[in-house]
Amino acid sequence: MARAESHNAMPAGLPRHIAITMDGNGRWAAARGLSRSSGHKAGLTPVRLCVEECTRLGVEALTLFAFSSENWSRPADEVASLMGLFLSAIDGEVDELDRKGVRLRIIGNRQALSVRLQAQIGAAERRTAANSGLKLQIAVSYGGRWDIVQAARKLAAQCASGELQPAQIDERRFAAALELGDLADSDLLIRTGGERRISNFLLWHLAYAELYFSDRLWPDFDLAEFTRALEFFAGRERRFGLTGGQVHSAEREQGLQR
């Protein structure tokens, strides 16, 4: 499914790459006397909503933090039910994602996943690889530090084989060795569940991201709250280390060139 994706074609103020930490499923379930697994299951509804809305708006990329490197230490039954949920969600959603033109990728240490889940992920990725709509990344067994270490290892191996000189390693080359090497940095991070921290998510890619913290528990995250996050982003002045005066004169110059 072809769709225009040029950065320049995007409405001003729309993030290119939204990252979301989906927190609060357990508390949402506990408040209803349900199992934590039921909370995770209920978390699929806002995932669909975000994919739908990003597709409608023309956001380039959406990266969701579904399972961290540290989540393996949760009770075994919760880990098993989350892995089961990933299996059934990929199986159940891939047709609709494909129909919407979404390109699905899983990021993280996939060797830690079951062979069955790895195979299913591979099949869903191959099936949607040529789609030109929303780039949807689900982070499973992912940690920002793990990502930086695996990138460093890749580059070290290239240096060891003589393919690369250490002096050739710069930020661009390092970023390309990370999991999201082909995507723009995340410019908006949304975290639900009331906590105000990064929790080892996309450490490199969030360097200049705007941070939107929502007190909503993830299963309660709805279109109105998503829209508030986008409005928050649109209202931010993005300086990238420049002064406000420099940003304004660059904007004036761009205006004159148009």
Taking each helix axis from N to C end, the angle separating 44-57 and 76-99, rounded to the nearest 10 degrees, works out to 30
Binding to ligand FPP by residue 155, rule CB under 6 A?
Answer: no
Binding to ligand FPP by residue 71, rule CB under 6 A?
Answer: yes
CA distance 87 to 193: 25
**SS3 at position 126:** helix
Binding to ligand FPP by residue 89, rule CB under 6 A?
Answer: yes
CB of 28 to ligand FPP, least distance (A): 7
Q: Which residues are paired to 197 by β-bridges?
A: none
The residues carrying an active-site annotation are 23, 71
Binding to ligand FPP by residue 54, rule CB under 6 A?
Answer: no
Q: Using the Cα atoms of residue 42, residue 46, residue 49 and residue 51 in order, give the sign of their dihedral.
A: negative
CA distance 46 to 44: 6
Among the residue ranges 64-72, 125-133, 149-157, 171-179, the one whose residues contact ligand FPP (CB under 6 A): 64-72
The contact mask relative to ligand FPP for 170-209 (x = CB under 6 A, - = no) is: -----------------------x----------------
Binding to ligand FPP by residue 15, rule CB under 6 A?
Answer: no
Amino acid letter for position 250: A
155 vs 186, beta carbon nearer ligand FPP: 186
Regarding beta strands 61-68 and 135-142, do their DSSP bridges make them parallel or antiparallel, or are they unpaired?
Answer: parallel
